[in-house]
Structure 1
Protein backbone atom coordinates (compact mmCIF):
# COMPACT_ATOMS: atom_id res chain seq x y z
CA UNK A 1 0.00 0.00 0.00
CA UNK A 2 2.88 2.33 0.84
CA UNK A 3 4.39 1.69 -2.62
CA UNK A 4 1.14 2.61 -4.35
CA UNK A 5 0.96 5.85 -2.37
CA UNK A 6 4.54 6.83 -3.27
CA UNK A 7 3.99 5.87 -6.91
CA UNK A 8 0.83 8.01 -7.06
CA UNK A 9 2.66 10.89 -5.39
CA UNK A 10 5.52 10.60 -7.88
CA UNK A 11 3.08 10.67 -10.82
CA UNK A 12 1.33 13.75 -9.42
CA UNK A 13 4.62 15.57 -8.85
CA UNK A 14 5.87 14.67 -12.32
CA UNK A 15 2.63 15.95 -13.84
CA UNK A 16 2.87 19.17 -11.87
CA UNK A 17 6.46 19.67 -13.02
CA UNK A 18 5.39 19.13 -16.63
CA UNK A 19 2.62 21.67 -16.27
CA UNK A 20 4.98 24.19 -14.72
CA UNK A 21 7.17 24.12 -17.84
CA UNK A 22 4.17 25.10 -19.99
CA UNK A 23 3.71 28.39 -18.12
CA UNK A 24 5.51 31.32 -19.66
CA UNK A 25 6.38 34.71 -18.18
CA UNK A 26 3.73 37.39 -18.69
CA UNK A 27 6.20 39.37 -20.86
CA UNK A 28 6.54 36.41 -23.22
CA UNK A 29 2.81 35.73 -23.37
CA UNK A 30 2.02 39.41 -24.00
CA UNK A 31 4.65 39.77 -26.73
CA UNK A 32 3.38 36.61 -28.42
CA UNK A 33 -0.26 37.78 -28.36
CA UNK A 34 0.71 41.14 -29.86
CA UNK A 35 2.83 39.63 -32.65
CA UNK A 36 0.54 36.67 -33.43
CA UNK A 37 -2.94 37.84 -32.47
CA UNK A 38 -4.58 35.40 -34.91
CA UNK A 39 -2.68 32.29 -33.70
CA UNK A 40 -4.57 29.15 -32.71
CA UNK A 41 -3.65 25.76 -31.20
CA UNK A 42 -0.82 27.32 -29.17
CA UNK A 43 1.53 25.14 -27.12
CA UNK A 44 4.62 26.30 -25.24
CA UNK A 45 7.96 24.67 -24.45
CA UNK A 46 10.98 26.01 -22.65
CA UNK A 47 13.78 25.95 -25.22
CA UNK A 48 16.52 26.68 -22.66
CA UNK A 49 17.02 28.69 -19.46
CA UNK A 50 16.29 32.01 -21.19
CA UNK A 51 14.12 31.13 -24.20
CA UNK A 52 10.58 29.92 -24.87
CA UNK A 53 9.15 28.40 -28.04
CA UNK A 54 5.51 28.52 -29.06
CA UNK A 55 4.13 26.12 -31.66
CA UNK A 56 0.89 27.31 -33.23
CA UNK A 57 -1.17 27.65 -36.38
CA UNK A 58 -2.31 30.59 -38.45
CA UNK A 59 -5.03 29.81 -41.00
CA UNK A 60 -4.09 26.13 -40.72
CA UNK A 61 -0.38 26.68 -41.47
CA UNK A 62 2.18 25.49 -38.90
CA UNK A 63 4.47 27.98 -37.19
CA UNK A 64 6.86 28.17 -34.26
CA UNK A 65 8.23 31.31 -32.65
CA UNK A 66 10.96 31.84 -30.09
CA UNK A 67 11.00 34.57 -27.45
CA UNK A 68 13.55 35.52 -24.80
CA UNK A 69 12.38 35.24 -21.21
CA UNK A 70 12.07 39.06 -21.26
CA UNK A 71 9.54 38.85 -24.10
CA UNK A 72 11.81 39.81 -27.02
CA UNK A 73 10.82 38.05 -30.24
CA UNK A 74 13.82 36.13 -31.62
CA UNK A 75 12.62 34.21 -34.67
CA UNK A 76 9.68 32.58 -36.40
CA UNK A 77 9.69 29.36 -38.41
CA UNK A 78 6.91 28.74 -40.90
CA UNK A 79 6.46 25.35 -42.52
CA UNK A 80 6.51 25.68 -46.32
CA UNK A 81 6.75 23.29 -49.25
CA UNK A 82 9.97 22.50 -51.09
CA UNK A 83 8.57 24.29 -54.16
CA UNK A 84 8.21 27.50 -52.13
CA UNK A 85 11.98 27.70 -51.56
CA UNK A 86 13.83 30.41 -53.50
CA UNK A 87 15.41 29.08 -56.68
CA UNK A 88 18.95 29.77 -55.37
CA UNK A 89 18.31 27.61 -52.29
CA UNK A 90 16.91 24.74 -54.39
CA UNK A 91 19.84 24.91 -56.84
CA UNK A 92 22.47 24.76 -54.09
CA UNK A 93 20.62 22.00 -52.24
CA UNK A 94 20.37 19.86 -55.40
CA UNK A 95 24.04 20.51 -56.23
CA UNK A 96 25.25 19.33 -52.82
CA UNK A 97 22.56 16.85 -51.73
CA UNK A 98 21.27 15.48 -55.04
CA UNK A 99 19.85 12.11 -53.93
CA UNK A 100 18.79 13.13 -50.42
CA UNK A 101 15.21 12.67 -49.21
CA UNK A 102 13.63 15.86 -47.85
CA UNK A 103 11.57 15.41 -44.69
CA UNK A 104 10.48 19.03 -44.18
CA UNK A 105 11.11 22.65 -45.14
CA UNK A 106 10.71 25.90 -43.19
CA UNK A 107 11.17 29.61 -43.75
CA UNK A 108 12.90 31.34 -40.82
CA UNK A 109 12.51 35.05 -40.13
CA UNK A 110 14.77 36.52 -37.45
CA UNK A 111 14.63 39.58 -35.21
CA UNK A 112 17.63 41.07 -37.04
CA UNK A 113 15.65 41.10 -40.29
CA UNK A 114 17.18 38.13 -42.05
CA UNK A 115 15.24 35.42 -43.84
CA UNK A 116 16.74 31.94 -43.93
CA UNK A 117 15.54 28.48 -44.88
CA UNK A 118 15.78 25.13 -43.16
CA UNK A 119 15.66 21.82 -45.03
CA UNK A 120 15.34 18.74 -42.85
CA UNK A 121 16.76 15.67 -44.57
CA UNK A 122 16.53 11.98 -43.83
CA UNK A 123 19.72 10.13 -42.95
CA UNK A 124 20.47 6.51 -42.16
CA UNK A 125 20.04 7.13 -38.42
CA UNK A 126 17.63 10.03 -38.00
CA UNK A 127 17.48 13.43 -39.60
CA UNK A 128 19.71 16.46 -40.16
CA UNK A 129 18.83 20.13 -40.54
CA UNK A 130 20.49 22.15 -43.30
CA UNK A 131 20.34 25.95 -43.25
CA UNK A 132 20.52 28.36 -46.20
CA UNK A 133 20.43 32.12 -46.51
CA UNK A 134 18.13 33.79 -49.01
CA UNK A 135 20.90 33.65 -51.66
CA UNK A 136 21.25 29.88 -51.36
CA UNK A 137 24.45 29.83 -49.32
CA UNK A 138 24.50 26.94 -46.83
CA UNK A 139 25.57 27.76 -43.26
CA UNK A 140 25.70 26.11 -39.85
CA UNK A 141 22.88 26.92 -37.42
CA UNK A 142 23.98 29.96 -35.45
CA UNK A 143 26.46 31.06 -38.14
CA UNK A 144 24.16 33.21 -40.28
CA UNK A 145 26.10 36.07 -41.84
CA UNK A 146 23.18 38.48 -41.61
Structure 2
Protein backbone atom coordinates (compact mmCIF):
# COMPACT_ATOMS: atom_id res chain seq x y z
CA UNK A 1 0.00 0.00 0.00
CA UNK A 2 1.61 3.24 -1.18
CA UNK A 3 0.37 6.82 -1.24
CA UNK A 4 -0.33 7.94 -4.79
CA UNK A 5 -0.50 11.63 -3.93
CA UNK A 6 0.31 14.04 -1.09
CA UNK A 7 -1.24 17.45 -0.48
CA UNK A 8 -1.79 19.95 2.35
CA UNK A 9 -5.44 20.22 3.39
CA UNK A 10 -7.34 23.24 4.74
CA UNK A 11 -6.37 22.36 8.34
CA UNK A 12 -2.66 22.41 7.56
CA UNK A 13 -2.29 18.61 7.72
CA UNK A 14 -0.41 16.58 5.16
CA UNK A 15 -2.99 14.37 3.46
CA UNK A 16 -2.01 11.12 1.78
CA UNK A 17 -4.32 9.70 -0.88
CA UNK A 18 -4.08 5.93 -1.36
CA UNK A 19 -6.06 2.84 -2.38
CA UNK A 20 -6.57 -0.34 -0.38
CA UNK A 21 -8.55 -3.30 -1.71
CA UNK A 22 -10.12 -1.10 -4.35
CA UNK A 23 -11.25 1.57 -1.86
CA UNK A 24 -9.93 5.14 -1.81
CA UNK A 25 -8.64 6.49 1.53
CA UNK A 26 -7.29 9.81 2.78
CA UNK A 27 -4.92 9.86 5.75
CA UNK A 28 -3.96 13.07 7.58
CA UNK A 29 -0.63 13.62 9.32
CA UNK A 30 0.93 16.52 11.21
CA UNK A 31 4.12 18.15 9.96
CA UNK A 32 6.18 15.94 12.27
CA UNK A 33 4.58 12.78 10.88
CA UNK A 34 2.03 12.09 13.62
CA UNK A 35 -1.11 10.38 12.32
CA UNK A 36 -4.34 12.36 12.89
CA UNK A 37 -7.08 10.43 11.11
CA UNK A 38 -8.01 8.33 8.11
CA UNK A 39 -11.22 8.77 6.15
CA UNK A 40 -13.01 7.57 3.06
CA UNK A 41 -16.20 8.53 1.29
CA UNK A 42 -19.13 6.10 1.55
CA UNK A 43 -22.83 6.01 0.71
CA UNK A 44 -25.84 5.97 3.03
CA UNK A 45 -26.29 2.25 2.36
CA UNK A 46 -22.77 1.63 3.67
CA UNK A 47 -23.67 3.02 7.11
CA UNK A 48 -24.31 0.59 9.99
CA UNK A 49 -28.01 0.09 10.73
CA UNK A 50 -27.67 1.83 14.11
CA UNK A 51 -26.25 4.95 12.44
CA UNK A 52 -29.01 4.96 9.83
CA UNK A 53 -31.65 4.78 12.55
CA UNK A 54 -29.95 7.51 14.59
CA UNK A 55 -29.74 9.82 11.60
CA UNK A 56 -33.38 9.25 10.59
CA UNK A 57 -34.41 9.86 14.19
CA UNK A 58 -32.56 13.18 14.37
CA UNK A 59 -32.88 14.54 10.84
CA UNK A 60 -35.57 12.54 9.05
CA UNK A 61 -35.21 12.81 5.30
CA UNK A 62 -32.87 15.81 5.14
CA UNK A 63 -30.72 15.97 2.03
CA UNK A 64 -27.18 14.63 2.40
CA UNK A 65 -24.23 16.13 0.56
CA UNK A 66 -21.51 13.65 1.59
CA UNK A 67 -20.80 10.83 4.04
CA UNK A 68 -17.38 9.83 5.34
CA UNK A 69 -16.11 6.91 7.40
CA UNK A 70 -13.49 8.32 9.77
CA UNK A 71 -10.91 6.65 12.01
CA UNK A 72 -9.61 9.39 14.33
CA UNK A 73 -6.64 9.20 16.69
CA UNK A 74 -8.71 10.69 19.54
CA UNK A 75 -12.35 9.80 18.85
CA UNK A 76 -11.85 6.43 17.18
CA UNK A 77 -14.17 5.33 14.39
CA UNK A 78 -17.18 7.50 13.60
CA UNK A 79 -19.29 8.61 10.63
CA UNK A 80 -19.32 12.20 9.39
CA UNK A 81 -22.53 13.11 7.55
CA UNK A 82 -22.63 16.46 5.74
CA UNK A 83 -26.11 17.96 5.39
CA UNK A 84 -27.07 20.37 2.64
CA UNK A 85 -28.08 23.71 4.15
CA UNK A 86 -28.73 27.23 2.88
CA UNK A 87 -25.28 28.77 3.01
CA UNK A 88 -22.60 26.57 4.61
CA UNK A 89 -23.41 22.88 4.91
CA UNK A 90 -23.62 21.26 8.35
CA UNK A 91 -21.57 18.27 9.52
CA UNK A 92 -23.00 15.84 12.07
CA UNK A 93 -21.10 12.92 13.54
CA UNK A 94 -22.29 9.53 14.81
CA UNK A 95 -20.42 6.74 16.53
CA UNK A 96 -20.86 3.11 15.53
CA UNK A 97 -23.74 2.69 17.99
CA UNK A 98 -25.80 5.39 16.29
CA UNK A 99 -25.28 8.02 18.99
CA UNK A 100 -24.65 11.55 17.83
CA UNK A 101 -21.29 13.07 18.79
CA UNK A 102 -21.34 16.71 19.88
CA UNK A 103 -17.90 18.14 19.10
CA UNK A 104 -16.49 20.42 21.79
CA UNK A 105 -15.46 23.00 19.22
CA UNK A 106 -18.99 23.09 17.83
CA UNK A 107 -20.35 23.83 21.29
CA UNK A 108 -17.83 26.63 21.80
CA UNK A 109 -18.59 28.02 18.36
CA UNK A 110 -22.31 28.06 19.07
CA UNK A 111 -21.74 29.78 22.41
CA UNK A 112 -19.50 32.49 20.99
CA UNK A 113 -21.39 33.23 17.78
CA UNK A 114 -22.84 36.78 17.82
CA UNK A 115 -26.52 36.81 18.68
CA UNK A 116 -27.31 39.19 15.87
CA UNK A 117 -26.23 36.75 13.15
CA UNK A 118 -29.09 34.38 13.84
CA UNK A 119 -27.38 31.44 12.12
CA UNK A 120 -27.07 29.28 15.20
CA UNK A 121 -30.58 30.06 16.40
CA UNK A 122 -32.17 29.29 13.05
CA UNK A 123 -30.23 26.06 12.69
CA UNK A 124 -31.10 24.94 16.20
CA UNK A 125 -34.86 25.52 15.98
CA UNK A 126 -35.09 23.99 12.51
CA UNK A 127 -33.46 20.80 13.75
CA UNK A 128 -35.61 20.44 16.87
CA UNK A 129 -38.08 17.61 16.95
CA UNK A 130 -41.31 17.79 18.94
CA UNK A 131 -39.64 15.87 21.77
CA UNK A 132 -36.72 18.31 21.84
CA UNK A 133 -39.06 21.30 21.93
CA UNK A 134 -40.99 19.72 24.79
CA UNK A 135 -37.71 19.17 26.62
CA UNK A 136 -36.69 22.81 26.14
CA UNK A 137 -40.03 24.12 27.41
CA UNK A 138 -40.17 21.57 30.23
CA UNK A 139 -36.62 22.24 31.40
CA UNK A 140 -37.19 25.99 31.35
CA UNK A 141 -40.42 25.58 33.35
CA UNK A 142 -38.65 23.37 35.89
CA UNK A 143 -35.75 25.78 36.40
CA UNK A 144 -37.91 28.89 36.75
CA UNK A 145 -40.22 27.13 39.24
CA UNK A 146 -37.24 26.09 41.35
CA UNK A 147 -35.77 29.58 41.11
CA UNK A 148 -38.94 31.65 41.59
CA UNK A 149 -41.15 29.48 43.78
CA UNK A 150 -38.96 26.99 45.65
CA UNK A 151 -36.23 29.54 46.43
CA UNK A 152 -37.65 33.08 46.22
CA UNK A 153 -41.29 32.68 47.24
CA UNK A 154 -40.71 30.22 50.07
CA UNK A 155 -38.23 32.68 51.59
CA UNK A 156 -39.88 36.03 50.90
CA UNK A 157 -43.61 35.16 50.47
CA UNK A 158 -44.32 37.87 47.91
CA UNK A 159 -46.82 36.48 45.40
CA UNK A 160 -46.68 39.59 43.20
CA UNK A 161 -42.94 39.28 42.78
CA UNK A 162 -43.40 35.57 42.12
CA UNK A 163 -45.80 36.40 39.29
CA UNK A 164 -43.33 38.94 37.88
CA UNK A 165 -40.48 36.41 37.86
CA UNK A 166 -42.63 33.74 36.22
CA UNK A 167 -44.13 36.24 33.79
CA UNK A 168 -40.83 37.56 32.51
CA UNK A 169 -39.48 34.08 31.97
CA UNK A 170 -42.52 32.32 30.54
CA UNK A 171 -43.60 35.20 28.29
CA UNK A 172 -40.15 35.84 26.82
CA UNK A 173 -38.84 32.27 26.59
CA UNK A 174 -40.87 31.22 23.49
CA UNK A 175 -39.82 34.43 21.72
CA UNK A 176 -36.13 33.82 22.39
CA UNK A 177 -36.34 30.11 21.59
CA UNK A 178 -38.15 30.41 18.27
CA UNK A 179 -36.64 33.65 16.98
CA UNK A 180 -34.22 33.23 14.10
CA UNK A 181 -32.29 36.32 15.12
CA UNK A 182 -31.71 38.29 18.30
CA UNK A 183 -30.45 41.79 17.66
CA UNK A 184 -28.90 44.30 20.03
CA UNK A 185 -32.08 46.35 19.72
CA UNK A 186 -34.07 43.40 21.02
CA UNK A 187 -31.82 43.26 24.08
CA UNK A 188 -32.33 46.97 24.71
CA UNK A 189 -36.09 46.39 24.50
CA UNK A 190 -35.91 43.79 27.26
CA UNK A 191 -33.97 46.09 29.56
CA UNK A 192 -36.29 48.99 28.75
CA UNK A 193 -39.17 46.76 29.81
CA UNK A 194 -37.36 46.01 33.06
CA UNK A 195 -36.88 49.72 33.66
CA UNK A 196 -40.56 50.41 32.95
CA UNK A 197 -41.66 47.74 35.43
CA UNK A 198 -39.39 49.25 38.05
CA UNK A 199 -40.71 52.79 37.44
CA UNK A 200 -44.38 51.81 37.55
CA UNK A 201 -44.04 49.53 40.58
CA UNK A 202 -43.10 49.86 44.21
CA UNK A 203 -39.40 50.37 44.79
CA UNK A 204 -37.53 47.11 44.33
CA UNK A 205 -35.07 45.97 46.95
CA UNK A 206 -31.61 44.85 45.90
CA UNK A 207 -32.68 41.27 46.52
CA UNK A 208 -35.69 41.61 44.23
CA UNK A 209 -33.56 43.18 41.49
CA UNK A 210 -31.10 40.29 41.76
CA UNK A 211 -33.89 37.72 41.47
CA UNK A 212 -35.41 39.54 38.50
CA UNK A 213 -32.08 39.58 36.69
CA UNK A 214 -31.70 35.90 37.53
CA UNK A 215 -35.07 35.10 35.94
CA UNK A 216 -34.09 37.00 32.79
CA UNK A 217 -30.73 35.20 32.75
CA UNK A 218 -32.47 31.82 32.93
CA UNK A 219 -34.62 32.86 29.98
CA UNK A 220 -31.59 33.63 27.82
CA UNK A 221 -29.67 30.55 28.99
CA UNK A 222 -32.49 28.06 28.38
CA UNK A 223 -33.45 29.55 25.03
CA UNK A 224 -30.08 30.22 23.44
CA UNK A 225 -27.30 27.99 24.77
CA UNK A 226 -26.65 24.39 23.65
CA UNK A 227 -28.33 21.73 25.80
CA UNK A 228 -25.34 20.65 27.88
CA UNK A 229 -24.16 24.20 28.48
CA UNK A 230 -27.76 25.24 29.16
CA UNK A 231 -28.18 22.67 31.93
CA UNK A 232 -24.87 23.52 33.61
CA UNK A 233 -25.47 27.28 33.40
CA UNK A 234 -29.01 27.00 34.78
CA UNK A 235 -27.73 24.96 37.72
CA UNK A 236 -25.12 27.64 38.43
CA UNK A 237 -27.80 30.39 38.48
CA UNK A 238 -30.07 28.35 40.77
CA UNK A 239 -27.25 27.46 43.16
CA UNK A 240 -26.10 31.08 43.24
CA UNK A 241 -29.59 32.21 44.27
CA UNK A 242 -29.93 29.41 46.80
CA UNK A 243 -26.68 30.12 48.63
CA UNK A 244 -26.40 33.89 48.14
CA UNK A 245 -29.83 34.42 49.72
CA UNK A 246 -29.68 31.60 52.26
CA UNK A 247 -30.54 32.77 55.81
CA UNK A 248 -28.15 30.28 57.44
CA UNK A 249 -25.22 31.74 55.53
CA UNK A 250 -26.18 35.35 56.26
CA UNK A 251 -27.23 34.69 59.84
CA UNK A 252 -26.70 38.31 60.93
CA UNK A 253 -28.13 39.90 57.80
CA UNK A 254 -31.49 41.62 57.51
CA UNK A 255 -34.32 40.03 55.56
CA UNK A 256 -37.26 41.65 53.83
CA UNK A 257 -40.81 40.34 53.80
CA UNK A 258 -44.30 41.62 53.03
CA UNK A 259 -46.94 41.23 55.74
CA UNK A 260 -50.47 42.19 56.71
CA UNK A 261 -50.44 43.24 60.37
CA UNK A 262 -53.60 43.68 62.44
CA UNK A 263 -53.46 46.57 64.90
CA UNK A 264 -55.78 47.37 67.80
CA UNK A 265 -55.07 51.10 68.08
CA UNK A 266 -56.13 52.36 64.65
CA UNK A 267 -54.94 55.87 65.47
CA UNK A 268 -51.35 54.66 65.17
CA UNK A 269 -51.64 52.79 61.90
CA UNK A 270 -49.24 55.24 60.21
CA UNK A 271 -46.85 55.54 63.15
CA UNK A 272 -43.65 53.84 62.00
CA UNK A 273 -42.03 53.85 65.43
CA UNK A 274 -45.08 52.31 67.07
CA UNK A 275 -45.38 49.63 64.42
CA UNK A 276 -41.68 48.80 64.68
CA UNK A 277 -41.95 48.37 68.46
CA UNK A 278 -45.07 46.22 68.17
CA UNK A 279 -43.50 43.95 65.58
CA UNK A 280 -40.35 43.61 67.66
CA UNK A 281 -42.38 42.67 70.75
CA UNK A 282 -44.81 40.33 69.02
CA UNK A 283 -42.29 38.39 66.93
CA UNK A 284 -39.08 38.83 68.95
CA UNK A 285 -37.24 40.42 66.06
CA UNK A 286 -35.01 43.41 65.47
CA UNK A 287 -36.75 45.72 63.00
CA UNK A 288 -34.50 47.79 60.77
CA UNK A 289 -37.10 49.51 58.63
CA UNK A 290 -40.74 49.33 57.60
CA UNK A 291 -42.54 50.74 54.57
CA UNK A 292 -46.31 51.10 54.77
CA UNK A 293 -47.98 50.12 51.52
CA UNK A 294 -51.68 50.15 52.33
CA UNK A 295 -54.02 50.75 55.27
CA UNK A 296 -57.51 49.24 55.49
CA UNK A 297 -59.77 49.11 58.57
CA UNK A 298 -57.55 47.66 61.31
CA UNK A 299 -54.94 46.11 59.00
CA UNK A 300 -51.65 47.54 57.76
CA UNK A 301 -49.93 46.06 54.74
CA UNK A 302 -46.22 46.79 54.87
CA UNK A 303 -42.73 45.71 53.93
CA UNK A 304 -40.56 44.85 56.91
CA UNK A 305 -36.77 44.64 56.97
CA UNK A 306 -35.82 42.59 60.01
CA UNK A 307 -33.60 39.98 61.55
CA UNK A 308 -34.06 37.62 64.46
CA UNK A 309 -33.12 39.18 67.78
CA UNK A 310 -30.09 37.21 69.06
CA UNK A 311 -31.06 37.97 72.65
CA UNK A 312 -34.54 36.52 72.18
CA UNK A 313 -33.88 33.86 69.52
CA UNK A 314 -30.26 32.72 69.90
CA UNK A 315 -30.87 29.50 67.98
CA UNK A 316 -32.95 30.87 65.11
CA UNK A 317 -31.48 32.02 61.84
CA UNK A 318 -34.68 33.23 60.20
CA UNK A 319 -38.22 34.15 61.06
CA UNK A 320 -41.36 33.75 59.03
CA UNK A 321 -43.78 36.59 59.57
CA UNK A 322 -47.47 36.07 58.75
CA UNK A 323 -48.75 37.43 55.46
Q: Are residue 122 (structure 1) and residue 84 (structure 2) matched?
A: yes
What displacement does 1:114 show?
1.5
Please give the root-mean-square deviation of Cα atoms over the aligned residues, in Å. 2.3
Partner Cα distance (2:101, 2:75) in 1: 17
Does the C-alpha gap of structure 1 residues 126 and 113 become closer, same or farther in structure 2, counting only changes over 3 Å? closer
Q: Which residue of 2 aligns with 1:39?
A: 3
Task: Name which of 64, 68, 76 aligns with 2:30.
Answer: 68
* Contact 2:2 2:18 (8 Å CA) reproduced: no
- The residue matched to 1:126 in structure 2 has which SS? coil
Which stretch of the first structure deviates more once superposed, 92-101 or 105-114? 105-114
Q: Which residue of 2 aligns with 1:17?
A: none
* Contact 1:43 1:56 (8 Å CA) reproduced: no
TM-score under structure 1 length normalisation: 0.61
Which stretch of the first structure deviates more once superposed, 85-94 or 112-121? 112-121
- The residue matched to 2:84 in structure 1 has which SS? strand
* Contact 2:6 2:14 (8 Å CA) reproduced: no
Q: How many residues align?
A: 105
Partner Cα distance (2:104, 2:70) in 1: 12
Does the C-alpha gap of structure 1 residues 108 and 90 become closer, same or farther in structure 2, counting only changes over 3 Å? same
Does the C-alpha gap of structure 1 residues 43 and 142 become closer, same or farther in structure 2, counting only changes over 3 Å? farther
Which stretch of the first structure deviates more once superposed, 134-143 or 90-99? 134-143
Does the C-alpha gap of structure 1 residues 48 and 120 become closer, same or farther in structure 2, counting only changes over 3 Å? closer
Q: Which residue of 2 aligns with 1:23?
A: none
Partner Cα distance (1:39, 1:59) in 2: 13
Aligned pairs for 1:24-35 (under 5 A) are none
TM-score under structure 2 length normalisation: 0.30
Task: Name which of 72, 96, 100 aligns with 1:138.
Answer: 100
Structure 2 unaligned spans of 5+ = 106-323
- The residue matched to 2:26 in structure 1 has which SS? strand
More strand as a share of residues: 1
Does the C-alpha gap of structure 1 residues 99 and 77 become closer, same or farther in structure 2, counting only changes over 3 Å? same
More helix as a share of residues: 2
Q: Which residue of 2 aligns with 1:86?
A: 48
- Of structures 1 and 2, the one scoring higher in RCO (CA 8 A, sep 6+) is 1
Higher-Rg member (1/2): 2
Q: Which residue of 1 aligns with 2:210?
A: none
Partner Cα distance (1:47, 1:99) in 2: 30
Partner Cα distance (2:92, 2:14) in 1: 22
- The residue matched to 1:136 in structure 2 has which SS? coil
